[in-house]
Structure 1
Amino acid sequence: MRRFERIHDIVEPVEGYRRGGYHPVHLHDIYNQRYEIIGKLSHGQFSTVWLAYDRLLQQHVALKTLKADASKNNKELSTLRHLSATNPDHPGKRHVLELLDYFEHDGPNGTHLCLVLPVMVSDGEGMTVNGKSHEATYVRSISKQILLGLDFLHTLSIVHCDLQPANIMVSTEAAAHSETFLQPPEFNPARWLKGMTADESAPNYLIATQRRRGQLDSADWSELSVKIGDLGGGGREGNHRKSVAPTALRVPELIHQNKTWNASIDAWALGCLICELATNEPLFPLGIFGLSAEQIDHEHLSLIGGLLDGDGQINETFVKHLTDRLPPDFGAENIQHLASFLGLMLQQDPLKRMSTVELLKHPFLVGDIEG
């Protein structure tokens, strides 16, 4: 039953503020006697994320507040704690978002798990919306950092299951230590429908993300720090749960409804992800509105077949696809190397997809960049 007037801005669903749902957060609230809410970073299906100031350590942090129902036996917390205590010398560890602190907070909608994480200025989704062209050195740097983080996870037999632009966090050291990357908040009042009894389950207002678009557009690629975030959908290899990846990033074996899969699903998603970060558009732009699941699957397989060969060879159609979408100064040789690199991940046969260890040795990451 609806309780609130609709809010048309891009915010979390206001109806999610009910028992078991989101915790109502306001600017300048203080949590765990030390974290003061400064601004809104993002929201997701199961949480809201806020910029907070840690009064104890005198630094900015990101405070991820989970829905009450999602806080019970939370997999993300157990995974983050496991990662924190494991393999400190792996070079990919610093490319996975690390847990700084955690606590529980009691509110009108239940008990909420709160995860304290490093501040990241943008994400992969925000890096593509402005359509800024990217040089080969940028694509190499971003790709290598993500791949190192993924190799760290796979070394521990953890499959991310949801690699997508929104879960790739990007920042610079200077930008993360101030509030200047936030724009002023725009308040969307939570208005109760006539006949509903107002209570404390909802905040007085909702706020869209205050991250500025294009915040890192002019940043030097060598200064960008990239980390894999949102491990809530991850699982151990061999535990064949349903993948939570967006429809357009699903691997062929899941489109064909195979019941088994392994860590290679992350390799396929990574190929799609890197291609999108390089070209500023999805590799497989699915039109799903008004289509049945079967029609979507048919369109998806058709798009895959139109770009990728089934025999693992570099498809000139795919090379042309990249050439048409990358800037002229990317370099023809660099495009060939990138196509080869992506092709090793975008294998329709999961047994032919390269592991993270093998991919890290590819010429696109270790060879000379043309130009």
Structure 2
Amino acid sequence: MATLMMPLEDNNTPDYGDFVGSDDECEVEDLAEPLNRYFEGLYYPICIGDVLNERYRIEHKLGHGGYSTVWMAYDFQMKNNVALKIHVPGSEGENELKLQNEIILRVQNTSNLLTYENFFYLRDHDKQMHLVLVFPVWGPSLGSCFLMQMSIVARISAAKQLLKALESLHDAGIVHRGKSIPPRYKFSYMLIYSIDLNNRNIMWGIRSFEKSNTDTIYEYLGRPQKIKLYLPSGIQAEIVKPVTVSEDLLRDTICLGDFGHAINVGTSVTPKFHAPFEYCAPELLHDKDLGLASDVWSYMCLFLELFLGVRLFYRNASSSVISDMVELLGPLPKHWKGDYKGFGVSDDSWYDQSRKASDRLDVLIRRVRPDVGDTEKGHILSIMSKGFCYLPESRISVKQLQQDPSFRAVMEIYKQ
């Protein structure tokens, strides 16, 4: 375990939050990480007020995923707040560290990419090593925000920034999504998520708390609400309700993060497909190698989500998502028939070239965004026709999309 100590020169008196009563326990547990991750020795046990690596004091909970927990901490050395991403042992953390180093070396513009500032390791009571990546503090993910409450100008600005971030990666020959699922998790469906370009690895900017003490931070983010957790090893942890960031704290900047499954162009992985399936390119569900074009499909899903304020494909099962695609975009390539490798049973009608799309894209836009005029709608339909090409070799590239007249026209309409 990491040594817990409090530097004497620090004048920022720690505040350890509030233990909740029995009436609030369910709410905290529902919003916090699954308890079994601690009992299985996957999550590193944390309490508010702990000091890690003799440098970082835990101040609040930011979130969690299948492979990590994320905490806000005060850095005594730099005298500012940071985010600590504490990885599960043997997960994708080492791959993320490796790709992060490559990104820092190879990518020219990382302004919209979430790259680490420092890293260290924590040893738990079972002598397992947990990699900890230190990041700047960013706000909530796109997936945790209510998009319709945000201005369309901010959402389109986010789409433009995301495309620039993706362009920076692609110029360096890096595909954002790539690595297959670690063997220890391969048969646990609930853990197969957030491993591609999707709305949970895009973070909104948040106002700086650099000059704020703990009390001020809690005024904005709320005091940590927590429950004591006693592990069989005798180690104590806390289940902490993640922060809720109000809309007035958000900035119009975004960053792309979570590079634990990124790969270099030309790298082959197994399995090809991934979840969440709503953002998964259709070729990956048909056992085709992924590439830069696979990222473009995911980006188009996100672009439409930002433009419309709702998700274009919203099913959890891969077969249902394919059905939605066919309903909206028409039949899949005939030569893909028999290649489907996703969850569920394939449907021969997906490849029937006489089948017509039953849901019209222009009707969808009119229903969700009645404020959009015919000219703007034409631009959106043009963008979708180029980005939602089933065949990856026919799909528009990130660089081409940057220069596309319709894309540039939409960006100009919502220019800040």
TM-score for both structures, normalised by structure 1: 0.82
2:222 counterpart of 1:183 = yes
2-side partners of 1:238 and 1:181: how far apart? 45
2:37 counterpart of 1:16 = yes
2-side partners of 1:56 and 1:8: how far apart? 33
Q: Is the 8 A contact 1:28 1:36 kept in 2?
A: yes
1:143-196 deviation line (CA, Å, top 9, x unaligned)? 11101111111112211110111110111454677535422222133367xxxx
Which residue is 2:55 aligned to? Answer: 34
Which residue is 1:252 aligned to? Answer: 282
Query: Which of 258, 264, 269 pairs up with 1:230?
Result: 258
Query: Which of 224, 239, 243 pairs up with 1:210?
Result: 243
1-side partners of 2:211 and 2:309: how far apart? 28
Which residue is 1:292 aligned to? Answer: none
2-side partners of 1:103 and 1:370: how far apart? 42
Q: Is the 8 A contact 1:322 1:335 kept in 2?
A: yes
Q: What percent of counterpart residues are identical?
A: 26
The CA deviation at 1:113 is 0.5
The CA deviation at 1:273 is 1.5
Whichever residue aligns with residue 49 of structure 1, its letter is V
Q: Are residues 35 and 332 of structure 1, via their aligned partners in 2, closer, same or farther at CA, if it must alter by over 3 Å?
A: farther
1-side partners of 2:393 and 2:39: how far apart? 45
Is the radius of gyration larger for structure 1 or structure 2?
Answer: 2
Whichever residue aligns with residue 70 of structure 1, its letter is S
- Secondary structure at the residue paired with 1:149? helix
The CA deviation at 1:37 is 0.6
Whichever residue aligns with residue 396 of structure 2, its letter is M
2-side partners of 1:319 and 1:176: how far apart? 46
The CA deviation at 1:233 is 1.4
Which residue is 2:22 aligned to? Answer: none
1-side partners of 2:306 and 2:209: how far apart? 21
Which residue is 1:199 aligned to? Answer: 233
Q: Are residues 48 and 320 of structure 1, via their aligned partners in 2, closer, same or farther at CA, if it must alter by over 3 Å?
A: same
2-side partners of 1:333 and 1:121: how far apart? 34
- Secondary structure at the residue paired with 1:340? helix
2-side partners of 1:278 and 1:309: how far apart? 22
- Secondary structure at the residue paired with 1:231? coil
Which residue is 1:114 aligned to? Answer: 132
Which residue is 1:75 aligned to? Answer: 95
2:146 counterpart of 1:104 = no
1-side partners of 2:149 and 2:154: how far apart? 12
TM-score for both structures, normalised by structure 2: 0.74
2-side partners of 1:327 and 1:71: how far apart? 43
1-side partners of 2:91 and 2:130: how far apart? 8
The CA deviation at 1:65 is 0.5
Query: Which of 350, 358, 362 pairs up with 1:319?
Result: 362
Q: Are residues 363 and 79 of structure 1, via their aligned partners in 2, closer, same or farther at CA, if it must alter by over 3 Å?
A: same
Tell me the number of residue pairs that the alignment of Structure 1 and Structure 2 aligns: 339
